[in-house]
Structure 1
Amino acid sequence: MNTADLHTLTGAYAVDALSDTERAAFERHLSGCAPCTQETAELTATSARLGLAVSVTPRAELRDEVLRRITTVRQETPREAGAATSAPRATARRMLLSRWALAACVAAAAAFGGVAVWQHERAEDALDQARQAAQDADRVAAVLAAPDARSGSAKLGDGATGTVVVSRSQDKAVFVVSGMAPPPQGKTYQLWFDEGGTMRSAGLMEPGRSAQTVLMSGTVAGASGMGITVEPAGGSEQPTSPPVALMPLPA
């Protein structure tokens, strides 16, 4: 792949449509190509806006439907190969299985209560996550679409680029990053608001994702910049490592 080909991959990289080989080659190219770095940052922010513009909030009644179906839909029993056997053989097999039927039913009845509880808890967790994701998507969309939204971009090192979008009317900021190297094992990237040299936690990035859009936690009031540090899994109350990047917030 030559340099001319790499210049054409900004759009595909922004929407995570490159193979691992192409992505690695393009990220090496970004480290020495300022025009592609700027264009990638802009396209990444634009793709995030377009995706959020068509996002759909789950129906309010979805939770009740899921919980109701859990108790009524049975899992289909796997069928054995060669089920089409002769009648005498099938009858003998049914007689053999019937000896265990009562014991199996008793065991199933005892276990069903635990399974139902487990399914209910998993459904509740999934619904909570979906509800939180929908709320975050709405907040991100509100920031990106705000009339007073302002953005600033910068290179973060190792070929990564970051864009921060701020809406003073929403009092929120969104961070869009592409080409981010994974953090060390057992570590995570943590975002911070810089308030005159005092760092205030703004949430965690998802480890292992090179491109992502993050709604920064907390308000932007009083902050003039933002930073990223590498922290233990779960984050820290204050930075424990030198910043990976520092960026001013757009005015």
Structure 2
Amino acid sequence: MEPVTVWWAELGAARPALLGLAGLLDPVERARRDRYLRDADRDRFTLGVAMTRLAVAGRLGLQPERVPLTRACRDCGEPHGPPVVDGGPHLSVSHSGDRVAVAVSPHGPLGVDVEEDSGRIGDDIARQLLAGDEPPGGRAGLLTYWTRKEALLKATGDGLRVPLRKVRVSAPDEPPRLRLWDGRPGLAERIMMRTLDPGPGYAACLALLDHPEGVPVRERPVAELLRPRADLP
């Protein structure tokens, strides 16, 4: 069975290649990148777009610049939504701190989320994040809840239109799974989840919607994507 692949990059290590990778962005992507105010945000976005194009290009047999990515928002149609390739594969992108993740699946919708343990998760976040029967589990537990719920919202395409308290997941010390989504009976049976390994100081999770039972998940370094483009500065 063809695997789901999660590609990982560390921004600091990838910075020497960013000048060349920026050439893979199309005009819409370049305009979106230029709206970011901070260099780090521009760099994370550039790296995420380039990784997406390289990962899909390898599957479709295209040059990365020719990968037909669209980014139309579901609500307004403007090009600030998540990346989509008509006909697949399915995509999800996340970045936080020094980590960038791109998940690719030939089987169905998916969501990936990575979060840095920056210490900014406090009581205010917990009130927005946790349902009444979810035990907090400290800062690390809240970070785990956050990545699990964000991954689920990406997989279903809801994004932050759904309050996180309506999505109930397993406790941080248990394997990840959707327990209940208020108002959506039967959804839990269609979801599989995996804890990912982004490295120390981070938490990450992958959610798969309507995937084959037992589908393998592979985590790969960005170096494997960049190797065919060793000509980049």
The alignment's TM-score, normalised by the length of structure 2, stands at 0.26
The alignment's TM-score, normalised by the length of structure 1, stands at 0.25
Of Structure 1 and Structure 2, the greater helix share is in 1
Radius of gyration: which is bigger?
A: 1
Higher RCO structure, 1 or 2 (CA under 8 Å, sep 6+): 2
